């Protein structure tokens, strides 16, 4: 099968001891491409997503963004650096960006301000946007309705059918994480059953949210195959069809052709 992990943090220090082995296992599992999500880590530091893309051309593809947790801490010069990095031809998308009211590491008003800023940047550059939302769906939806991006994905979607339909009606994709395998995720499974296959992506969000039977352990891109298998089971489809569709969707969204 040909699978794309549409959201991974393989530059995380959690892989510093065995990153090459993690990449090898992903290839062996049928993962043909990985979207490496570049994130601001601290002053002057935007992480290692672009380094991965440079070291593994045609396999890793880099995004760049500033997470809602961090927006209140970013110096002005790094917002300017974001603009520079975002404009690079090798940057395939802006994000992840969005709202997170679960932890509120940054004040809500700051989150909304800089979410809008990054949506505007994506629109200006003609690039898709990778959207994070946690306990903030109402405000996320309102901002997206006002500033509907030309292309984008709700990453790590865990909502139910009603919320899925609202985002789909805005023209967005939904990216399904390993949470879909959890016993308490029936609303998400209902959403997956109802959502058109041509609007779904699959992701690990590794090193977080490992699917069953790996729950509680470090996640890795090889496990995205489990997400594809679970979607196939929920929809009553061959896993090869789910793999082909989600790969095609990711290729179209991120223009990986």
Each residue's pLDDT tens digit, 51-97: 999 999 999 999 999 999 999 999 999 999 999 999 999 999 999 99
pLDDT of 171? 97
| Residue 9 annotated as lining a ligand binding site | yes
| Residue 205 annotated as lining a ligand binding site | yes
pLDDT digits (tens, 9 = 90+) for 103-160: 989 999 999 999 999 999 999 999 999 999 999 999 999 999 999 999 999 999 999 9
Query: Cα separation of 139 and 145, whole Å?
Result: 10
Residue 237 has φ and ψ, to the nearest 5°, of -120, 155
pLDDT of 167? 98
Beta-sheet strand order (sheet of 3-8):
3-8, 31-39, 60-65, 91-100, 129-134, 152-154, 173-176, 200-202
| Residue 155 annotated as lining a ligand binding site | yes
| Residue 7 annotated as lining a ligand binding site | yes
pLDDT of 1? 87
Q: Which fold has domain 3-254?
A: TIM Barrel (3.20.20)
The gap from C-alpha 59 to its chain's centroid, in whole angstroms, comes to 16
């Amino acid at each position: 099968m040909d699978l794309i992990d549409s959201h991974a943090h393989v530059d995380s220090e959690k892989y510093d001891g065995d990153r090459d082995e993690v990449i090898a296992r992903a290839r062996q599992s049928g993962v043909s491409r990985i979207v490496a999500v570049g994130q601001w880590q601290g002053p002057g530091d935007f992480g290692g997503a672009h380094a991965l893309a440079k070291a593994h051309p045609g396999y890793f593809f880099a995004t760049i963004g500033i997470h809602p947790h961090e927006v209140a801490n970013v110096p002005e010069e790094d917002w300017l650096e974001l603009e520079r990095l975002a404009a690079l031809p090798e940057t395939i998308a802006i994000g992840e960006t969005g709202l997170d009211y679960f932890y509120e590491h940054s004040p809500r008003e700051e989150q909304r301000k800089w979410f809008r800023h990054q949506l505007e940047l994506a629109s200006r550059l003609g690039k898709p946007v990778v959207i994070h939302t946690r306990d903030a769906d109402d405000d996320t939806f309102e901002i997206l309705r006002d500033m509907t991006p030309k292309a984008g994905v709700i990453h790590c979607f865990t909502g139910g059918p009603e919320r899925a339909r609202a985002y789909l009606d805005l023209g967005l994709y939904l990216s399904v994480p390993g949470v879909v395998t959890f016993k308490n995720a029936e609303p998400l499974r209902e959403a997956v059953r109802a959502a058109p296959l041509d609007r779904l992506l699959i992701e690990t969000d590794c090193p977080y949210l490992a699917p069953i039977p790996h729950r509680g352990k470090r996640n890795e891109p090889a496990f995205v195959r489990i997400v594809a298998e679970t979607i196939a089971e929920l929809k009553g489809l061959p896993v090869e069809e789910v793999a082909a569709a989600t790969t095609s969707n990711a290729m179209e969204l991120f223009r990986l052709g």
